[in-house]
Structure 1
Amino acid sequence: MHKVNFANLDLNLLRVLHCLLDEKHVSKAADRLHLSQPAVSRALARLRESLNDPLLVRTAQGYALSARAESMQLELAEVLRSIDRMIAKPVFDPATDRGVIKMTGLDLELALYVPQLVQRMRRLAPFMHLETVRQELDSFSMLDKDDVQLSLSGLEPVTSGGSFHRVKLDTMPVVCLMDENHPLTRSEMTAEAYANAPHGLVSITGRGPGSMDQVLEDVGLQREVVLRLSGFMSVADYCEGTDLVFTLPLRLAQRISAGRRLKMLPLPSALQRDPVAFYIYWHARHHHDPRLTWVRSQLLDITQELPRL
């Protein structure tokens, strides 16, 4: 049996072959393919050589298919349809989609935006599933391993930065959160008074300094962190009725202090820096995924509707 060298077989030749087998005529196939007759004749010659078969055989009534061409005709049509389906742009309809989205982020960061996302999904994409996954020490490694498809974070990736895409969801200033009767509430807070207060810190890793420690170092000051928490949800319980100060992004502080005996104060002017930015990150492998594109657009719409700070 003649062995076909598929490495030398152009996919475009298969489309020409399909048309030739349908039309059984070189000129008609050329018209249908919007090609010149010589081009189709050359393609037929290459096909005959590659397949070691005449394919089209001249008869008194015109051209007829060879036995092999007849056996190939139906199967070739299905192969080409399969190829078209494979390379076609994915069709996404949120109203019928049953996909699963996995997202990670810190507890309160997710709580600021994801409930509104779920409300939209229940209305616009009722069959889609959303799973929030507990954040590991490095959410970017979770994206890299495809454990999650989206990560909400205010951090920058340490490695594999070129593999990630992001879009800014929100920005907000940093404020101080403390008990409503904290001594710092009684007068204008100075940088020195802030540094001398006992501090609480939300830390994913449980080790290392916070961003405010670098800010204080820049102005020759230092603070003492006496409490580290791994998440934001319990901050109010540790802040209320104590002398601890937590330094948090404004929307998180607003959410934590709602209904509690807490007070928010701006940072002393000497310690104020650029607003904190929150991003939604995703891996390059999902950059063109229509489902994730839709979810990201919903999150952007949600943050656009938030009160400006």
Structure 2
Amino acid sequence: MRKVNLRSVDLNLLVVLEALLEEKQVTKAAEKLHMSQPAVSRALQRLRDTFADPLLVRSVDGYDLSVRATQIVGELKTVLQSVSQIISEPEFSPKTSKQIVKIAGPDLETALYVPDLLAVMSKQAPEMQVELDSRPADYFEMLSRGDIHFAISGVPPQIAEDQFHRALLDVTDIALIMGQHHPLANKAITLDEYLSARHAYISITGKGPAMMDRRLREMGKKRNTVLRLSSFMSVPDFCEKTDLIFMLPTNLIKKISLGRAVVSRTLPEELIAEPFPFYLYWHARDHYDPMHRWIKEAVLQQAGQHSV
């Protein structure tokens, strides 16, 4: 078989070839393709050179297919259909899809947003599954490796931000949470009282220090931090049984405070900052994938937000 270098072949000619083999006439093929007759004649000559075969040969009734053209006519249609499918946007049907959606994020963030997604999926995508990973980890590294489809985080990526897209899920203030028995539980807390108290914080990556410790260092201050956790779910237990204070987004405090002997207090005035955003993140490689778009819009719709 003659070896062909595809780099030397104009694949656009295959579309012209399909019309020529169907119409068996340059004029009709030109009309079908909305091309001029001379342009189709030139394309036919290039095709003859490429295939080393006349393709169309004169007959009693005008033109007929050569043996080579007869052999390739069926294959050509299949090839062009395959190319069209490759180029066309992939289809996604939630009702029939059996895909697995992999989402990662801290336990409370996922508890805030993923249940609503599952409620939507149970009606619109009943055969799809969700794998939820709330282990402490660098979720952006997981996105980069392709281990997950989405990450929910209030902490922005530290490197390679251009790899990721994001959409706002929620904006919330930051507050303090402590046990009802805590000496500061029933008063406005001053900066000195805050610094003298015993503190704990959550590290979703398993690393420190906390954002507040970095901010205090910039102010030339330091607080007494004695505990680092990797999960939000045990915070009420530590608040009820110790004198530790945690600083958390208020939407998370509301989630973990129900039925617990804890209280929430405002930060000292000097430490009050801009509201804290939560984002849904995904990698650039998945940005145009229809399944990703459907999941993203479902999450944002339930969160009362819109894609950005």
Q: Do both proteins adopt the same fold according to a TM-score greater than 0.5, normalized to the shorter chain?
A: yes
Is the deviation greater in 39-48 or in 264-273? Answer: 264-273
Partner of 2:173: 173
Please state whether the residue corresponding to 1:186 is helix, strand or coil. Answer: coil
Structure 1 pair 10/207, CA: closer, same or farther in 2 (3 Å)?
Answer: closer
CA shift for structure 1 position 2 = 4.4
Please state whether the residue corresponding to 1:232 is helix, strand or coil. Answer: coil
Aligned partners of 1:136 and 1:142 also within 8 Å: no
**Superposition RMSD in Å:** 1.5
Give the AA of the match of 2:260: R
- In the aligned structure 2, how far is the partner of 1:8 from the partner of 1:51? 12
Give the AA of the match of 2:41: S
Please state whether the residue corresponding to 2:189 is helix, strand or coil. Answer: coil
CA shift for structure 1 position 12 = 1.2
Aligned partners of 2:136 and 2:203 also within 8 Å: no
1:262-281 to 2 correspondences below 5 Å: 262-281=262-281
Aligned partners of 1:5 and 1:50 also within 8 Å: no
- In the aligned structure 2, how far is the partner of 1:198 from the partner of 1:126? 47
Partner of 2:295: 295
CA shift for structure 1 position 216 = 2.6
CA shift for structure 1 position 265 = 0.9
Please state whether the residue corresponding to 1:184 is helix, strand or coil. Answer: coil
1:248-263 to 2 correspondences below 5 Å: 248-263=248-263
Partner of 1:4: 4
The superposition leaves residues 72-118 of structure 1 with CA deviations (integer Å, 9 ceiling, x where unpaired) of: 11111111111112211111121211111111101111101111111
**2:36 is aligned with 1:55:** no
Runs of at least 4 residues off by over 6 Å: none
Aligned partners of 1:103 and 1:131 also within 8 Å: yes
Aligned partners of 1:192 and 1:221 also within 8 Å: no
CA shift for structure 1 position 212 = 1.3
- In the aligned structure 1, how far is the partner of 2:205 from the partner of 2:103? 19
Q: Flag structure 2 segments of 5+ consecutive residues without an equivalent.
A: none
Partner of 2:43: 43
Partner of 1:22: 22
The superposition leaves residues 264-288 of structure 1 with CA deviations (integer Å, 9 ceiling, x where unpaired) of: 1111111101111111111111111
Partner of 2:78: 78
Normalised by the length of structure 2, the TM-score is: 0.95
Partner of 2:94: 94
Please state whether the residue corresponding to 1:254 is helix, strand or coil. Answer: helix
- In the aligned structure 2, how far is the partner of 1:297 from the partner of 1:254? 25
Is the deviation greater in 126-135 or in 259-268? Answer: 126-135
Please state whether the residue corresponding to 2:184 is helix, strand or coil. Answer: helix
Give the AA of the match of 2:81: R
Aligned partners of 2:117 and 2:299 also within 8 Å: yes
- In the aligned structure 2, how far is the partner of 1:174 from the partner of 1:147? 31
Aligned-residue sequence identity (percent) comes to 47
Aligned partners of 1:195 and 1:216 also within 8 Å: no
Aligned partners of 1:253 and 1:264 also within 8 Å: yes
Partner of 1:146: 146
- In the aligned structure 2, how far is the partner of 1:156 from the partner of 1:225? 23
- In the aligned structure 2, how far is the partner of 1:135 from the partner of 1:27? 67
CA shift for structure 1 position 150 = 0.7
Give the AA of the match of 1:35: M
- In the aligned structure 2, how far is the partner of 1:242 from the partner of 1:5? 74
Aligned partners of 1:175 and 1:267 also within 8 Å: yes
The superposition leaves residues 125-149 of structure 1 with CA deviations (integer Å, 9 ceiling, x where unpaired) of: 1111110124453111111111111
Aligned partners of 2:164 and 2:281 also within 8 Å: yes
Number of residue equivalences: 305
Partner of 1:225: 225
Aligned partners of 1:98 and 1:127 also within 8 Å: yes
- In the aligned structure 2, how far is the partner of 1:79 from the partner of 1:209? 58
Structure 1 pair 205/56, CA: closer, same or farther in 2 (3 Å)?
Answer: closer
Please state whether the residue corresponding to 1:63 is helix, strand or coil. Answer: strand
Is the deviation greater in 112-121 or in 202-211? Answer: 202-211
